[in-house]
Structure 1
Amino acid sequence: MKKVALHWQIAIAIVLAVIIGSLTGKEAGLGNVTFYAVYAFLGTLFLNALKMIIVPLVTASIISGIANIRDSEGLGKLGGKTILFYMTSSLLAILVGLVMVNLMQPGTGSNLAAGLTGDSSVEEVLTKVEGKSTADVVDVFIRMVPPNIVAAAAEGQMLGLIFFSLLFGYFLSQSQSKQTDVVRDFFSGLMDIMTLITLWVMKFAPIGVFGLVAKTIADTGFASFKPVLVFFFTVVISLAIHAFVTMPLLLKYLARIQPVKHYQAMSPAMLTAFSTASSSATLPLTMECMEEAGVSQRVRGFVLPLGATVNMDGTALYECVAAIFIAQAFGLELTFVQQFTIVMVALLTSIGVAGIPAASLVAISIILGVIGLPLEGIGLLMITDRVLDMMRTAVNVFSDSCATVIIARSEGEQTKLV
């Protein structure tokens, strides 16, 4: 018997959660145990499992990814151009999402907050988040350099952990001693193990999502679906703007090529990315498309594999919109500093955890933790996550290809897309 794919399991769990949650409400149960308490237990257990893997997963992913770039040329001029473009394109994607989520306000006016945490704790959450508004931009950078990295990890201060991991990975890649080969192998092995643990945790995602969604439906009824639908279209419109406005402008004015030809060249890879929702699985086809477009092996062989690991425009955009959507659901008006923090953490996490399974869940968990919001909102995001995952993966792959062509042109190469 063929095994049901995980995304279909989650879809079935959501449908069952909607039906059962609406039927049972908050009072029904067996004996002294309410079904509502069972839903809360299942959801909390799943969220705790996600929290458990965040620190080792992020650390291993960033360090192993950067440390394995051993080519001196790769870390030189070509590497500098690649990293600069990837940082810029991801930042542009996040800013598009930031503008759209503030314009469309998908979570504003909803009653999701009560369903996510219970009426009694909404005020407590708001107080906790508003307490962060006294910080200024300087404090954000100070938190990036923690005095005690172990304490920062224990307290969930992910900004400092990410910065340390980037620093550690870079200098590990620069070391030529045999002793550091052991360290490099250790983090590569740790990454492999954490990937397996993440896959194992995700096997329980249907149960966890069932608990989170059923709890919300028992609290708020079907009113919760309207803001989720607005959130869905906010993400779709934002991804479309980035893919069909921002990136073509970069192709036209930086690479001096015709964007239409680039779309035609990349259509097989983008369709594959959409159907598989995996940048890594699409990488061989992306490289083939770029070869046919006339990009040299030197450029595409470096830029594309690195992009499949660190460049995730669609993911970064989605993380930003999702975090602000949940904040709006709590009636919170985010300050400039809080939104700046979300932008920066979305940028860093999209680099650090993009290549792993369920990357968005881990990244959004980090962002919500940084601004002080509960993780229960992730359950609502899962309702539309599969379709949005397919879309943002296609955008991720398209951005990698744009970087490849732009960098190739900056190196003086003539492609077939002019």
Structure 2
Amino acid sequence: MSTSTTSSSASTRSRNPLTAITRIPFGWQVLIGLVLGIVLGLVAAQMGPVAETEANPDGANWLTTTLDTIGTIFVTLLKALVPPLIFLAIVTSIANLRGVTNAARLAGKTLLWFGITSLIAVSIGIALGVLTTPGANSQVSADSAEASSTQGGWLDFLTGLVPSNFLGITGSAGDDGSVSLSFNALQILVISIAVGIAVLSVGEKAEPFLKFTGSALEIVQKLLWWVIRLAPIGTIGLLGNAVASYGWDAIGQLGVFTLDVYVGMLIVLLVVYPILLKVNGLSIGSFFRGVWPATSLGFVSRSSLGTMPMTQTVTERMGVPRHYASFAIPLGATTKMDGCAAIYPSLAAIFVANFYGVPLGVTDYLLIVLVSVLGSAATAGMTGATVMLTLTLSTLGLPLEGVGLLLAIDPILDMGRTALNVTGQSLVGVIVAKREKILDQDTYDAAARTSFQAIQAEQKAEADAVERAESDGATAASTDASEATDAREAAGTRA
């Protein structure tokens, strides 16, 4: 092949737009997706609605429909992987503790710190709500009040813990005769914990099952990584549809509430978390540099469970032992929600009370704290916090129609809520590891800000190393067997 042909081929590859895109750091891809989403959303809003038809009852224009479809597909892909991810991650994480002497102590300390951080977060949310009275300063119309179809009450919450079947899957029939399936993340969580404990009880006989679940978890996480790679595109659809459907008017009408939620989350993220790190003798800079990939991915994916593999990876990279990180992070992804289950529902409850003129007393605020600390598992790690909000409202006896007042800006708020959730999950893992003296301090102190691509490359290198080790082991075993056979044959010949 001539030099000119080689040069031409290389030039063609360098001009390939797909190759050029993949070279852009993942963080920049997400940022570009955010900007494009806002721009396309504003364009779609300016285009206005079209004539309503049977196929398009909402009258959405083609651009709004496209953005909605892109965002819906991305969230659907995440949801499709959630049931096996919950089951396999929880079972494997519990099994990973079987060789740890202080497993019960680690689990107890983890839950305790989940509760401590949630208590601090909900207190900040209540304080902001009392100071600003967001519902009294809102311009949102009462016509938008509508009870959510997805609701949570304490009775529903408790009965929902009991699995209706082993898979935690339920079906419902539509008016047209179609059947739709859905899953109950809480029930899957209960099933997973029960199976994990049973595995520990069975002991050695459960080893083949554990090998299967470990292998299956690797496969599901690989599939999830592929979906996560679509996050920049999903961001365009999710944010674009939110802007096109509600515009900036909705944010303006709920400006005080929106500001309260983000100010509360920033206080927790940039004040409370650093104080907790410093009190426990941990570097603030090392933590935020290390956790950044999970925080940014949580912001765009709006799913704690979808971000879970990244959260666990960055936590391990900060020196937390794998046997503990693989327990704490999956548990936190389903129960540790400083954004969705602490700050947001407390402010939302105060907003609804202000809007409807319902006075709240000390007992009501204590109930908000109780619901936030004990009921955070109701959010189940997926996008949105409607179940937790309705659980809080029903506990206080507030109108559930108040949920509809806040739905317009929920996608905008959910980004920040999820980013705070996953950051808090990693924080607790680091703090407990430090307090239990199992944190690799040198690795933590050396934590550096890294990219999505670097983490993937590191994981691939680790997998290749494991594969080579297994291959070398198999080769050595084969050599030993061959030598043993030759020795036996030689001995037989001499005989």
Aligned with 1:272 (options 278, 284, 290): 290
Q: CA deviation at 1:51?
A: 6.5
Counterpart position of 1:164: 191
Counterpart position of 1:101: 125
Aligned with 2:160 (options 143, 154, 158): 143
Kindly provide the CA deviation profile for residues 239-298 of structure 1, in whole angstroms up to 9, marking residues without a partner as x: 34542445655x4xxxxxxx3xx33xx6334323236635345345411xx7xxxxxxxx
Q: Does 1:282 align with 2:314?
A: yes
Give runs of aligned pairs for residues 384-395 of structure 1, distance below 5 A. 385=416, 395=424
Counterpart position of 1:378: 410
In structure 2, do the counterparts of structure 1 residues 284 and 83 end up closer, same or farther at CA, with 3 Å as the change threshold? closer
RMSD: 4.6
Q: Does the 8 Å contact 2:340/2:421 carry over to 1? A: no
Q: Does the 8 Å contact 1:59/1:161 carry over to 2? A: yes
SS of the residue 1:123 aligns to = coil
Q: CA deviation at 1:313?
A: 11
TM-score, length-normalised on structure 2? 0.57
Give runs of aligned pairs for residues 15-164 of structure 1, distance below 5 A. 16-17=40-41, 21=45, 23=46, 28-29=48-49, 37-38=60-61, 41=65, 45=69, 48-49=72-73, 52=76, 56-69=80-93, 74=98, 76-105=100-129, 108-109=135-136, 122-125=145-148, 135=153, 137=154, 140-148=157-165, 153-154=170-171, 157-164=184-191
Where in structure 2 are there 5+ consecutive unaligned residues?
1-19, 172-181, 296-309, 393-399, 446-495
Q: Does the 8 Å contact 1:62/1:169 carry over to 2? A: no
Q: CA deviation at 1:142?
A: 2.9
Q: Using the alignment, how far apart are the partners of 1:43 and 1:370 within structure 2? A: 31
Q: Does 1:180 align with 2:212?
A: no
Q: CA deviation at 1:123?
A: 3.5
Q: Using the alignment, how far apart are the partners of 2:334 and 2:268 within structure 1? A: 11
Q: Does the 8 Å contact 2:345/2:389 carry over to 1? A: yes
Q: Does the 8 Å contact 2:95/2:200 carry over to 1? A: no
Q: Which amino acid in 2 is paired with 1:408? A: K
Q: CA deviation at 1:317?
A: 0.4
Q: CA deviation at 1:6?
A: 1.8
Q: CA deviation at 1:209?
A: 1.6
Q: Which has the higher contact order (CA 8 A, sep 6+)?
A: 1
Q: Which amino acid in 1 is paired with 2:160? A: R
Q: Using the alignment, how far apart are the partners of 1:174 and 1:220 within structure 2? A: 54
Q: Which one has a bigger Cα radius of gyration?
A: 2
SS of the residue 2:127 aligns to = helix
Where in structure 1 are there 5+ consecutive unaligned residues?
252-258, 291-299, 354-360
Q: Does the 8 Å contact 2:124/2:264 carry over to 1? A: yes
Q: CA deviation at 1:144?
A: 1.1
TM-score, length-normalised on structure 1? 0.66
Kindly provide the CA deviation profile for residues 371-400 of structure 1, in whole angstroms up to 9, marking residues without a partner as x: 785765432226x63xx7666655544432
In structure 2, do the counterparts of structure 1 residues 286 and 168 end up closer, same or farther at CA, with 3 Å as the change threshold? same
Counterpart position of 1:189: 219
Q: Does 1:402 align with 2:419?
A: no
Q: Using the alignment, how far apart are the partners of 2:92 and 2:294 within structure 1? A: 26
Q: Which amino acid in 2 is paired with 1:161? A: I
In structure 2, do the counterparts of structure 1 residues 327 and 214 end up closer, same or farther at CA, with 3 Å as the change threshold? farther
Q: Which amino acid in 2 is paired with 1:144? A: L
